[in-house]
Structures are given as C-alpha cells and as structure tokens.
C-alpha cells in the first residue's frame, strides 16, 4: 500500500494495532512520521517567513528613499502576497497534521505541554525551538511593517501639508494680485 498524507478528515480515524491510521484502506503516516512532518512544515514556514522578513526590510528601505517608489513597492507587495498564500497553504496542511496527531495521542488540543507527556522530550524540544524561532521572525516582520506604515503615514501627512501650504500660497498670491489690480485704478 502507498502512504498518503492528509487524507483523513476528523472523525474518520481508524487505529490499527500497529499504530498506523487508516481511512478507506489507505495507509497514512504513523504518529512519529506525522510529528516529523509537522516539524518539517514549520521549518518550511520559517524559511518563507525569513524571506518575508527580507522583503519587509527591502520595503522599509525603499520607503525611506525620497524618490518615487511605486512600481518597486508594488512588486515587493506582490511577492509578499505570494508568500502569504504559500504560508497559508502550509498552515492548512499543518493544522490537518496537528489534528491527526492530537487524535492519535488522545489529546484535546495540540499544545507543547500535552505533547511533552506523550512524546520524546528531544522531539518536543525541536518543535519548541522552531516555534520560538517562528515567533521571533513574526515579531521582527511586525516591527518592520510598523515602521513602514509609520513612514507611509508620515509621507501622506507631509504631502497633505505641502498641498495645503501650496493652496494657501496660491490663494494668498491671488489675493495680492487682486489687491494690486484694485489699487491701480485708484491711482489713476
């Protein structure tokens, strides 16, 4: 038989004596293989988040420039959007794997404390380390995005202020010209 990943839907698990889970005659990953897949999935997400952090830094650097950045910024945003889609796909697969391993271990939810009671401590530590690294990367990305958003707000505010000043200057100049013209007929 062929091993198939992620074909089980909640409520359709059948546990065999050897620890292999089946659905409609298909052999799925064992608990250990499933756990390895979850860690590898998080590592793949980490790689994508690292790329996302690099793009976030490029976005911030681009926004710090004073010249027009429209096309370059749009390209970065599109690349980030593609990465978000890839991460969402990985998350979906990972959630399924987590549901499967939670059911196979008899846990209510996929949490480190529950896993620590059922699995090898080194395996749980590996998961904890990758989750901590992911959390740090997400915090870094959030900070870069916060700085980018602040810069965008400042640029918008500066443009509005410049437009208001120019508008005020135009009105003042028009008023001065009108006053000059109304004074000219009195002088003659």
Q: Is residue 24 a part of any domain in this protein?
A: no
Residue 73: predicted pLDDT: 86
What is the C-alpha separation between 58 and 110, in angstroms, rounded?
35
Residue 152: predicted pLDDT: 83
Q: Is residue 4 a part of any domain in this protein?
A: no
State pLDDT tens for residues 108-144: 999 998 998 888 888 899 999 999 999 999 999 999 9
Q: Is residue 10 a part of any domain in this protein?
A: no
Residue 119: predicted pLDDT: 86
State pLDDT tens for residues 58-102: 999 998 886 656 788 889 999 999 999 999 999 999 999 999 889
Q: Is residue 9 a part of any domain in this protein?
A: no
Global model pTM greater than 0.75: no
Q: Is residue 173 a part of any domain in this protein?
A: yes
Give the domain CATH number at 173. Answer: 1.20.58
Q: Is residue 103 a part of any domain in this protein?
A: yes
Tally of structural domains, the chain: 1
Residue 71: predicted pLDDT: 85
Give the rounded distance of the alpha carbon of 134 from its chain centre: 11
* Cβ-Cβ contacts under 8 Å for 76 (sequence gap 6 or more): 55, 58, 59, 62
What is the C-alpha separation between 32 and 58, in angstroms, rounded?
39
Q: What are the contacts of 52-59 at 24+ separation with CB within 8 A?
A: 52/80, 52/83, 52/84, 52/87, 52/137, 52/141, 53/137, 53/140, 53/141, 53/144, 55/79, 55/80, 55/83, 56/80, 56/140, 56/141, 56/144, 56/145, 56/148, 57/144, 59/144, 59/148
Domain that holds residue 179: 31-187
Q: Is residue 1 a part of any domain in this protein?
A: no
Using DSSP's 3-state secondary structure scheme, residue 23 falls into strand
Q: Is residue 13 a part of any domain in this protein?
A: no
CB 112 within 8 A of CB 124: yes
């Amino acid at each position: 038989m062929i091993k198939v990943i992620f074909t089980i839907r909640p409520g359709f698990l059948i546990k065999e004596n050897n620890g292999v889970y089946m659905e409609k005659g298909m052999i799925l990953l064992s608990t250990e293989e499933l756990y390895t897949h979850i860690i590898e999935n998080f590592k793949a997400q980490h790689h994508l988040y690292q790329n996302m952090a690099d793009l976030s830094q490029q976005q911030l650097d681009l926004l710090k420039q004073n010249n027009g950045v429209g096309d370059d910024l749009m390209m970065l945003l599109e690349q980030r959007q593609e990465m978000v889609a890839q991460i969402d796909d990985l998350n979906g697969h990972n959630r399924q794997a987590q549901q499967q391993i939670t059911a196979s271990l008899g846990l209510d939810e996929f949490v480190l404390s529950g896993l620590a009671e059922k699995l090898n401590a080194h395996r749980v530590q590996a998961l904890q380390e990758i989750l901590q690294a992911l959390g740090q990367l997400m915090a870094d990305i959030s900070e870069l995005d916060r700085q980018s958003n602040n810069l965008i707000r400042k640029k918008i505010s500066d443009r509005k202020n410049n437009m208001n000043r120019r508008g005020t200057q135009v009105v003042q100049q028009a008023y001065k010209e009108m006053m000059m013209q109304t004074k000219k007929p009195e002088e003659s």
